[in-house]
Structure 1
C-alpha cells in the first residue's frame, strides 16, 4: 500500500485546485500535494520524478493538453504505465462522450463530477483516498 505517496492534482482553475486541496487537508491527509495546471506539465513531472504517487486527480478540460490526451500518453508509455498510478478524473466536464472514452478506451480508475458542496466533495474524496490507501496494486 502506498499510503505516503504524493497526490497529484492536475487542474487549470486555481479556485478548484484550492477547494480540492482544502478537502484533502481537512481529511487529515498528510500526503504531499503536487499541483500542475495542465497535462503537459503533469506529463513532464511524471516522466522526471522518482517520487511515489498515491493518486492522480485530473480535470478533463485544460489548455495545452487536456486530461484525456494526458491519459492516452500515460497509457502509451511503458514506463509510466508500469508505475500503475491510480488515475481519477474529477471534472465538471463529465459528458457522456468523455465518460465513455475514459472507461472504454483509457485505463482510468474513476470519474467523478465536481460538486458545488464542500461536504459532498469531502465524502467523495475521502472514499477515493481511503480506497487507494488500502488497495494493493503493482507498486505497493
Structure 2
C-alpha cells in the first residue's frame, strides 16, 4: 500500500540528514523526501506549498525553532489540513518532560534516534509501514452534523 504525499524530515545535524536520506533511498520508499535543516525553513515551506504531505519527522533540539515549537506553531497558526499531518519526533533528547510535553501537544510519535545505521533503517521502515496502514479520517468524509 502507498499513500501519496511528501515525507518531510527536519534535522539540523548534517550527518543525521545524510544517514536518513541514505536509509530512505535503500528502502525505496516511493514518496518524495524533502529535507530541512531547521523548523523555520520547514514552516515556510508548509505555508507556501501546493503539494500534499504524508508525514513529518522532526528532531526536537534545533537552532531557531525546535521541533516542539514547530508543532505548536502548526497547531496554532497552520491551516486545518496542516494540523492533521502525522508529526513524529526522532531525537536524542528523550527527557520525560520532552516526552510528556510532546504528546500533550498532539505529537503522534516520539522515537529515540537509533545508534546504528541498521537500527535507523529498521525504524524508518516500521514508521513508514505503520503510517501507510493507518486509516485516515479526513474532513471530507465526516458525517454531517
Instruction: Give the gaps of 5 or more residues in structure 2.
Output: 141-145
Contact map agreement 1:2 1:53 (CA 8 A) in 2:
no
1:111 corresponds in structure 2 to 110
SS in 1 for 2:101: helix
Q: Which residue of 2 aligns with 1:65?
A: 65
Q: Which residue of 2 aligns with 1:25?
A: 25
Q: Which has the larger radius of gyration?
A: 2
Measure the CA separation in 2 of the matches of 1:119 and 1:2: 23
Q: 2 CA distance for matches of 1:136 and 1:25?
A: 25
* Higher-RCO chain (CA-CA 8 Å, sequence separation at least 6): 1
Measured in 2, the distance between the counterparts of 1:34 and 1:11 equals 11
Deviations 1:92-112 (A, max 9, x none): 1111111110012x1011000
Question: In the alignment, which residue of structure 2 is the partner of 1:51?
Answer: 51
Runs (4 or more) in structure 1 with deviation over 3 Å come to none
Question: What are structure 1's unaligned runs of at least 5 residues?
Answer: none
State the TM-score, normalizing by the size of structure 1: 0.91
- Report the Cα offset of residue 74 of structure 1: 0.7
| SS of match in other structure, 1:3 | coil
1:1-140 → structure 2 map (5 Å cutoff): 3-77=3-77, 79=79, 81-83=80-82, 84-104=84-104, 106-139=105-138
Question: Are 2:12 and 2:37, in contact at CA under 8 Å, matched by a contact in 1?
Answer: yes
Offset, 1:14: 1.1
C-alpha contact (below 8 Å) 2:7/2:32 kept by paired residues: yes
CA contact (8 A) 2:11 2:38 kept: yes
Q: After superposition, what is the alpha-carbon deviation per residue over 1:4-49, rounded to whole angstroms, capped at 9, x for unaligned?
A: 3111011111110111111111111121111111111111111111
Count how many residue pairs are aligned between Structure 1 and Structure 2: 138
Cα RMSD after superposing both structures: 1.7
Contact kept? 2:6, 2:33, Cα under 8 Å: yes
* Cα distance change on mapping 1:78 and 1:33 into 2, 3 Å: closer
